[in-house]
Amino acid sequence: MRFASLGASLRSALRFARRFASLGGSLRSALRFASLRSALRFASLRFATAVFTESNLSLVTSGKTLVDCATLQVADMQKTNALVTTAGGKFLEAPVSGSKGPAITGTLIFLCGSSSDSSFNDPWVKTCLAAMGKASHFLGEVGNGTKAKLVVNSVMGTMLAAYGEGLNLAESCGIPGATMVEVFQQGACAAPMYGLKGPNMVKEEEERNYDAHFPLKHAWKDMRFAKALAEEVGVEFGINGRAEETFAAGDKSGFGELDFSAVLEEIRKRNRSYPYG
């Protein structure tokens, strides 16, 4: 029912935009005009500079809500919140845990922050979040959602770097990587991410497919932001910091556009070792 309600609304907006465009305007202009009629807007732009434009923020007026699902820095979310609320609108920070697969299947996890929980508890917002995700969490003030997301992504990157080092060590010892993937999944180290990424990581070089579900360069960006956050609050973050350096080297080596599991290719490159075969 929730999916049907959301889908019908989206289809209605697109029909309006296409009809407007057929009268001579561009589809982009039509979509912008349709947005002016909407009380709720979602954004997920990669860079803060894409959000802070007069064109985008002019769409947020009194009584309207902007939900930002991007992973930016805490200060970026706080700046957007200030601009939106000053214009009379409401703002909900809602970065997501999950990449391409969960987005397609509607199983994202929303990590939310707002100056008031009324934005999070708005029935239409709740319906949209439920249609796109399997869970949503209200974490308090604006900035906390981003902090939680940076913690998640930095741990995820560190896990994958450690996993890659382990696979590389096993392969260097003459142990088939595919066997180690099975061993990991049968024991206490088992993790959904390892089960998903591992089999491809240990294929023969010409068979590996690193189509980006979550690009390595974006994982590195989030790990950099998490490292800066740790420095800001004065906590030790050395293990994650070392993993961030490995991702940085991977991006410099040209793996940035590939899936972040290609961090193993950087580890192999450093160690001049290749799959057992």
pLDDT the model gives residue 40: 66
pLDDT of residue 73: 85
Left if phi > 0, otherwise alpha if psi is -120 to 50, otherwise beta: which for 24? left
Measure CA 182 to chain center.
Answer: 28
pLDDT attached to residue 272: 72
Predicted pLDDT at 5: 39
The pLDDT of residue 196 is: 94
Order of strands across the sheet with 40-43?
40-43, 65-68, 90-93
pTM above 0.75, yes or no: yes
pLDDT at res. 3: 37
CB distance 36 to 64 below 8 Å: no
Contact between 133 and 98 under an 8 Å Cβ cutoff? The reply is: yes
pLDDT at 31: 41
Residue 136: strand pairing partners? 110
pLDDT of the residue at 9 = 45
pLDDT of residue 46: 54
- Positions in the chain short of pLDDT 50: 1-14, 16-17, 20-21, 23, 25-37, 49-50, 273, 276-277
Q: What is the pLDDT of residue 58?
A: 62
Domains for the chain: give ranges and CATH numbers. Answer: 39-141 (3.40.50.720), 147-271 (1.10.1040.10)
N-term to C-term CA, the chain = 52
149 is catalytic: yes
Name the active-site residue from 149, 197, 221, 227. Answer: 149
Spatial contact of 146 and 71, defined as CB atoms under 8 Å apart:
yes
Whole-angstrom Cα distance, residue 139 to residue 129? Answer: 15
Contact between 210 and 259 under an 8 Å Cβ cutoff? The reply is yes
Give the pLDDT score at 208.
Answer: 96
Give the model's pLDDT for residue 87.
83
Tell me the β-bridge partners of 259.
Answer: 215
